[in-house]
Amino acid sequence: MDTVTVSSPWLLGLATLALATLLYWLLVNVFNRPSLPLPPGPKPWPIVGNMPHLGPMPHQALASLARLHGPLMHLRIGVVDIVVAASASVAEQFLKVQDANFLSRPPNAGAKYLMYNYHDLLFAPYGPRWRMLRKITAVHMFSSKALDDCRHFRQEEARRLVTNLANVGSSAVNLGQLVNICVTNALARAMLGRRVFNDISGGSDPKAEEFKSMVMEMMELGGVFNISDFIPALEWLDIQGVHAKMKKLHKRFDSFLTNIVEEHKVSKNHNHRDLLTTLLSLKEVQNDEGATLTNVEIKALLMNLFAGGTDTTTSTTEWAMSELIKHPTMLARVRHESDSVVGRDRLVNESDLQNLPYLQAFIKETFRLHPPTALSLPRIADSDCEIFGYRIPKGATLLVDIWAIGRDPKEWSDPTLFRPERFLPGGEKADVDIKGYDFEAIPFGAGRRICPGVSLGICMVQLLTATMAHAFEWDLQGGLDPEKLNMEEAYGITLQRKVPLSVNPRPRLAPHVYSQLV
């Protein structure tokens, strides 16, 4: 009797513990289980997660993984959930159907330490400040009227580029460097009312050289995989030294931009109402939501436009010229078209572009195979949502593999072949545009956070490619066979050529055309 009496409470306690354990297991694994699974994806490693799966070329690695796991994938890097869209249909779900849930950016060191702590347009959280900056650029920089008002800047800088190329003689030139000077000066004249780079035949401009070096360093730092973006607890250690470099570069950039703004305030030599003049005039004006523009936002916006508008246009133009040189029959067709429309006594103008359908198709094909950014700028999920039966958790980072979408064999026949005819009447994608409405090709992204300079970017690439193809014969350095031209990519914020395009240009138009330096 005593044994039974003593052991009964012990058995009762054991039973109670077992019951509690069972209830807890049911609560966690059954009753509290998410109703939908996460998208499929490769199994993550301990701590670092799927970082090793990305390798040195993340856009290509993700495209390969999508062929194994499907175009909607889930990865985990550090403590961050990442969802990848690698097909047109999946991208449309995120950037159109669920666009309102993915309007902000995830935290990152570049926006914090370089872009004035998220006070810029590219990385600002969705809200009053972002809407204000977006409206300002849409009206005063990228509207049809603003683009038309600055047309002569772009055409004049294209003419300068032609004159510079004609003056190099028999020397081989790095085409990307000269195109970058042209693009930056065209943009600077619209933004600041003045050029910032000298021609290659001119003397050294210390401020221009400083600015050029800062933009290049910004792109390099922005392309670094920063561990603390994915494991925030390690931010204070700055293991890679990235934060220190960003802070140092920010001080240089801020000093440079502050001087530009202050000089602009006292300058009276403005025949054109440039963007900076407009921005300064808006400082005391409240928008519909009561927000006003600050000096910090002005400088952050200038930094966005310079860094985002020059490198992307330059790299895409360099890819376009590479494809023309690699495919002589296409180059001949572009020239025949431009000779028929423009003739050989003047250069191509922007007004000619609408009459060059093959050139337009060629540029679309360039953007398809060589998008300015291979992976979209990341977005973050504001709340849980469902995509194709899978759960996308709140706080997940969204990456759209633009490169993979443009090479998807389910959307494109012979997707790795460069074939402009697919965009011509009768072609497989004759009605597809590249401005964010057709998700088979979204080189500028889509949705409300699409690149704001899409129209300007397309226009500049078309104008510069048409001008150079029309004005010159092109030989590769050292007489290299065009078919052997290296077309490898170098991964970064922008999709650059691994080997810069080095060429010998030979004038092919009437001699007087090349002396028309403005």
Q: Look at residue 504 in the predicted model and tell me its pLDDT.
A: 95
> Is domain 34-515 annotated with CATH 1.10.630.10?
yes
Once rounded to an integer, what is the mean pLDDT over residues 206-214? 68
Rounded mean pLDDT, 187-204: 76
Q: How many residues does the chain have?
A: 518
Q: Give pLDDT tens digits for 453-486.
A: 999 999 999 999 999 999 999 999 988 999 999 9
The answer to whether residue 256 scores a pLDDT higher than 60 is yes
Higher pLDDT, 63 or 282: 63
Binding site, annotated residues? 451
Q: Give percent above pLDDT 90 in the chain.
A: 68
Question: What DSSP string describes 362-431?
Answer: HHHHHHHHS-S-SBPPPEE-SS-EEETTEEE-TTPEEEEBHHHHHT-TTTSSSTTS--GGGGSTTSTTTT
Instruction: Dump strand ranges (E) for 169-257.
Output: 173-174
Cα(336)–Cα(153) distance, integer angstroms: 27
The mean of the pLDDT values for the chain is 88
Q: Are strands 80-85 and 397-400 parallel, antiparallel or unpaired?
A: parallel
Do residues 441 and 297 lie in contact, with contact meaning Cβ atoms separated by under 8 Å? no
Q: Which residues are paired to 82 by β-bridges? A: 75, 397
Q: How confident is the model at residue 243 (pLDDT cuts 50, 70, 90)?
A: very high
DSSP state of 230: T
Read off the pLDDT of residues 14-58 as tens digits, 9 standing for 90 and up: 555 556 556 655 554 555 555 899 999 999 998 889 989 998 899
**What is the model's pLDDT at position 3?**
42
Report the C-alpha gap between 318 and 476 in whole angstroms.
Answer: 13
Quick one: pLDDT band at residue 491, thresholds 50, 70, 90?
A: confident
Section 66-70 average pLDDT: 97
SS3 category, 473: strand
DSSP 31: I
Binding-site residue numbers for heme are 451
Percent of the chain with pLDDT over 70: 88
Confidence of residue 190 (pLDDT cuts 50, 70, 90): very high
Please state, in angstroms and rounded to a whole number, the distance separating the CA atoms of residues 377 and 449.
9
Give Cα separations from 204 to 164, 174, 208, 212, 259 (angstroms): 15, 18, 8, 12, 19
User: With 90 as the cut, is the pLDDT of residue 451 above it?
Assistant: yes
pLDDT at residue 34, as a whole number: 58
Model pLDDT, residue 25: 55
| pLDDT computed for residue 431 by the predictor | 94
Chain centroid to CA 414: 25
pLDDT at 307 over 70: yes
Identify the band that residue 271 occupies on the pLDDT scale cut at 50, 70 and 90.
low
